Amino acid sequence: MTSVGVLISQQPINVINNPEMVSYTDKTWAREYHSIQNLKIHTVEGQDGVVYANFDGPLLSLLADEPKRMGEIAQMPNTRFWRLETEADIEHWWHTEVSDVVLAAWANYPLIVQTCHTKPLTGTNIPENIDCTYSMYVGNSRVPVALGEMKRNLINRREWQAGSLGDAQRKLARELRG
């Protein structure tokens, strides 16, 4: 056992085999949104080929109640080997290695509820399901906190870092904006 804060500050340790298969997106509802034009990139590829991210600038400062959440008891994910061949494989990896660790911080202050493959939390009738929804209760209503859609190797890092998006990346940018 350890704390959420210790686990969040670590990289996942389980081995991943990623066969580099790509899934694409072209959701009808996203076509009404403009693509992202002004890209602000917070990653850089080092000489060693590793991508480094700077989250200090774009993320908000920690709030006064963060130490309470970071001090929650948590467990490391079980040791295992991952092969990310399908979007379902990616979902399983995400929930085991990332979501389960982070949700331990939100067990009490406030309680965050995760649902998978459900309709968006909106009054609008949308035919698609969302892969993952995180929400909290405010009174009797669930309010979305974060939404997740799993894709395989869809982000073309070089296009985003160059600020020049091809057609597939513009479709993704419209969906991200939506």
Q: Is residue 125 part of a domain?
A: yes
**What tokens were used for 154?**
């869809």
Task: Tell me which residue range forms the domain holding 70.
Answer: 2-171
178 located within any domain: no
Q: How many domains does the chain have?
A: 1
pLDDT at residue number 123: 67
- The verdict on residue 16 lying in a domain is yes
124: pLDDT strictly greater than 80: no
Query: Is there a domain that residue 176 lies in?
Result: no
Evaluate if residue 130 carries a pLDDT over 90: no
What would the pLDDT profile of 134-161 be if each residue is shown by its tens digit?
999 888 888 888 888 888 888 888 888 8
d(CA 101, CA 94): 10
Q: Is the pLDDT of residue 178 over 80?
A: no
Cα–Cα–Cα angle for 87, 79, 117, rounded to 5 degrees = 25
Q: Each residue of 1-13: pLDDT tens digit?
A: 899 999 998 888 8
pTM as predicted: 0.81
The answer as to whether 34 is a domain residue is yes
Q: Is 174 exposed, middle or buried (0-12, 13-18, 19+ CB in 10 A)?
A: buried
Burial 56-91 (b: 16+ CB within 10 A, else e): eeeeeeeeeeeeebbebebeebeeeebebeeeebbb
